[in-house]
Amino acid sequence: MEVCACTEEVEVLVFGSVIVDFVAYAERLPKAGETLHGHKFMTGYGGKGANQCVAAARQGAKTAMIAKLGDDSWGSNYLQQLRKENVNVDFVEQCQGEATGIAQISVADSGENHIIIVVGANNLLSGNDVEKARNLFKTAKILVCQFETPLNATLDALNAFEGISILNAAPALVATPPELIKAATIFCVNETEAALTTGCEAISKLEHAKVGLHKLLEMGAKNVIITLGALGAVYATSADPHKFIHVPVGKVPKVVDTTGAGDAFIGALAYNMARFSSLPWHQLIGAANQVAAYSVQHPGTQASFPTGQVNKGVEYAWKEF
């Protein structure tokens, strides 16, 4: 098996998905069986893994991606785009006879969205790719994984990593394998994903979030972050399981498109943890909140991510709840 020595320093390593977005904008989302007239269509670069990698790179992190693309024009274009974003693509492979993953996205004027993904070549990511990039797994500071690629490969990646790992359990699973929950340093989900993963009621209030945090810790998570959209984020740790922290976010003047906001948060969080590991978690999460808030005020997925830090040097508020 060929193994790359890859001596370039990497702060944030992403093992995950690369998907091309096909986005239609309309006044509202269609009901079942309904056809609507839209007012805008665009293609873009997406996939949770690549989104999070690009978000971290735009913050200033030295990043690398481990992923699979099809041998089609979409894959070739995406590979060039990752290079333009200063992402190390030594382990991004175009697979012969495979199609690049795609996402069909509908976005309402309110910013709400519906997304269907067909992962294509992403399904070929495996434990062999972990072995090929083992030097990166030994030296990178932060590993980021998601659920848009095979779960056994994701588990191999988490188990092989020697630094801080962030598992964004999205798309959420009704029965998430417990070994995945336990393997990551940080288990991060949004309110919908937290409810689905835990079987709890819909999370719309902080008290609901507390139940979700407690349940995920009981399920074996070491540290849990739940993002709550306009409410910011909450977190808890297994080291102090009865302490629940809320990190609010400022009011957003106008929500344009929420697509990719969670990925903007994860990428910024990974960057902050790589560069400012001595800061308290509420500061790292607060800064990531600001990047996500910036994202929802702009259209597109990666196109909405800021270049450079947002509100640099700000002291972020937090409170127990």
- Per-residue pLDDT tens digits for 114-126: 989 899 999 999 9
CATH of the domain at 253: 3.40.1190.20
Could you read off the pLDDT of 99-151 as tens digits, one per residue? 999 999 999 999 888 989 899 999 999 999 999 999 999 999 999 999 999 99
In a domain, residue 271? The reply is yes
In a domain, residue 28? The reply is no
Residue range(s) defining the domain that contains residue 140 = 12-16+47-95+122-320
* Single-letter residue type at 226: I
Q: Please report which confidence band the pLDDT of residue 312 belongs to, taking 50, 70 and 90 as the band edges.
A: confident
**Residue 201, pLDDT score:** 81
In a domain, residue 205? The reply is yes
Verify whether residue 72 is a known catalytic residue: no
Could you read off the pLDDT of 26-53 as tens digits, one per residue? 999 999 999 999 999 999 999 999 999 9
Say which residues have a Cβ less than 8 Å from residue 116's Cβ, sequence separation at least 6: 103, 104
Q: Per the residue annotation, which of 21, 129, 156, 263 is the catalytic one?
A: 263
> Does residue 1 carry a pLDDT above 50?
no
**Residue 117, pLDDT score:** 87
Distance CA 61, CA 307 (A): 11
Distance CA 34, CA 126 (A): 39
In a domain, residue 1? The reply is no
In a domain, residue 311? The reply is yes
Query: What is the number of structural domains in the chain?
Result: 1
Q: Give the mean pLDDT of 41-66.
A: 97
In a domain, residue 73? The reply is yes
Q: How many CB atoms lie within 10 A of CB 173?
A: 14
In a domain, residue 250? The reply is yes
Q: Tell me the pTM.
A: 0.91
Distance CA 157, CA 238 (A): 22
The answer to whether 147 touches 135, Cβ cutoff 8 Å, is: no
> Does residue 3 carry a pLDDT above 50?
no
In a domain, residue 101? The reply is no
